[in-house]
Amino acid sequence: MPAPAATTKNLELLRDQIRHHNYRYHVLDDPEVPDAEYDRLMRQLQELEREHPELVTTDSPTQRVGDEPVLAFGSVKHRVPMLSLDNAFSADELREFHRRVATRLEMDVDAPLQYAAEPKLDGAAVSLLYEDGVLVRGATRGDGATGEDVTHNVRTIESIPLRLIGRNYPSLLEVRGEVFMPRAGFETYNEKARAAGEKTFVNPRNAAAGSLRQLDPKLTAARPLDIYVYYVGEAVGATLPSLHSEILDQLQEWGLKVCPERKVVDGVSGCLEYYEAIGAMRDALPYEIDGVVYKVDHLAMQRELGHVSRAPRWAVAHKFPAQEELTVVQGIEFQVGRTGALTPVARLEPVFVGGVTVSNATLHNIDELHRKDVRVGDTVVLRRAGDVIPEVASVIVQRRPDGARRTNLPKKCPVCGSAVSREPGEAVARCSGGLYCPAQRIEALKHFVSRKAMDVDGLGGRMIEQLVAIDRIKSAAELYGLNLGELAAMDRMGDKSAGNLIKAIEASKSTTLSRFLFALGIREVGEATAANLAAYFGNLAGIERASEEELEQVPDVGPIVASRIRDFFDEPHNLDVIRSLQDSGVHWTDSEPQQAANEGPLSGKTFVLTGTLTAMTRDEAKLLIQRCGGKVTGSVSKKTNFVIYGENAGSKLSKAQSLEVPTLNETAFRALVGGQLDR
């Protein structure tokens, strides 16, 4: 059953908010909200996407680990992506993770399965690269694919060996670890800072991350940092043990520091026992933790389980229970997002909880606000679930002041005064002002000029806000009509800055189709989807006239995304803006459409893979099918053309047989694709 429209709208709102905060935090180094507020938004998005996996898009913030490194550091492209971890916040969520693991391995859920368990440190993830035993590079996680080069800083950490010890280490070894500041060092450092009248750190996690990002390594060297290594990203020139736990033992023999509290446990019961044991000693540990991590111990099983774009399927972080504080609601306001959605926000009496000061909390939508019955003046329980998410958990009704009134949905947009509409059955209410609403216009323009869209260098949010405030810019096309004189007259601008901005605007006219599509702000169309559309059709005209069925042939474009694209190009005013942009000189080079690239011996055929293949992995088989023009899905139905099965095939094979879907063993499959194996 497709997800309700309200759910897709909630997802889009959350993604917009998180993308904005990612940019402020990682690119500008100027966050607008506390970490706790950001983490709460991310958790809500993860929960919605877990409930509706069909709505997960490649550009969703959950598919990302972080964001772009700052330009003050050199960039490092990770040879193997640095993935993040999915979270479990309860025993039931852990059991669900274990069930998914067992199902993918086609094991009985009660079958013996060992996990390597260790505390989840609250620090900063790094990659260390050794060549012939010598440390040659240190990098932050960054966005998972590209990080910041912090070699000059990691070399100052005494627990990181500059040269490995022992024998038989790989000629190339890349390991991942967590840099942290021990509790004792954190307290000592803050005492000295207070005595000197200097700024103190809020918590050890911020201390570790901030220390790694110092441009002067002498400042990093003065801070008591430590590290525990927890994973091997790549090893060339040596054979590692077959168990993750044994690899950690081997790393220790080579001089790398690993967590002494690590342990191998059996099944869910062993994981829960370890969780309770570590939780009991949490406050006595010499370092801060916010949970524990479980990893399937056997590497062959890890490879079979694989990963999604953001996280491995064979590991999970089990977070500790919530931290709670009481605070008072000082006001309830409605924010208007880029899509016009109105979100109620509780302005709180600032409270220090879980290491940060929280002063506001999003109440999601009007239904959630009324369900919890939050009113101005109420004393509320503010919770950071798993030390991550701040939320108004409940209201202390007994402390409600006399006369406290229920907050209702405003009839007029608080920004532009346009009527507020709410479709029946939907949770989200929206401003009807569309492009006329400054709140939507500003965010749409910020997105249009952003680095991964039209990349108008120097046109920041402050300037866009000024231009919108004086009603100079009503659509993206009007950016290309700005002149030197009017820009030079703007606040904090001069002739030189204005001249540079004019040059940047002019330079942005030469772009690519994928960037242009992304810049348009079509709902559900992120960078990856825009790139796929551009590659598949090769030109804008083909996309504009494509039917939903044709759009669904594009990789990663499903029915919902296809409908969003079709709706966008069916709106005449959107086409007017596009034509105005083209008339202003925005252009790109069309390419040869790749529709034909999806044609092959398996064109139009749908496949399902099950069991363990011997000559190739499932991912390799999937790529081969796609290369031959076929499509791979995860479930068997009457529309499935073939089920490819290997050893220990499970319920999918049985279902195929019951539906009389043709089945092929690995030999028959290889014969079917024939010469494609040699390509």
Q: Which of 120, 295, 319, 631 is catalytic?
A: 120
Mention every residue, 6+ apart, whose C-beta is less than 8 A from residue 147.
69, 75, 76, 78, 82, 127, 139, 140, 141
Structure tokens given for 540: 């804008």
CB 361 within 8 A of CB 40: yes
Contacts of 103 (CB under 8 A, 6+ apart): 109
Q: How far apart are CA 617 and CA 306, in angstroms?
A: 10
Residue appearing with tokens 């500059």 = 162
Q: Give the HSE-up count for residue 262: Cα atoms under 13 Å, Cβ half-sphere.
A: 21
Q: How far apart are the first and last CA of the chain?
A: 39
Task: Report the residue count for the chain.
Answer: 679
Q: What angle is formed at CA 633 by the lines to CA 629 and CA 638, rounded to 5 degrees?
A: 100
- Alpha-carbon gap, residue 157 to 9, rounded angstroms: 46
Rounded to whole angstroms, how far apart are CA atoms 346 and 363? Answer: 7
Q: Nearest 10 degrees: CA dihedral of 494, 500, 506, 511?
A: -140
| Residue 655 designated active-site | no
- Residue 213's contacts (CB-CB under 8 Å, 6 or more residues apart) are 70, 73, 140, 148, 150, 153
Give whole-number Cα distances, 524 to 1, 55, 484, 513, in Å.
Answer: 19, 9, 36, 17
| DSSP code, position 381 | E
Question: Mind telling me the catalytic residues?
Answer: 120
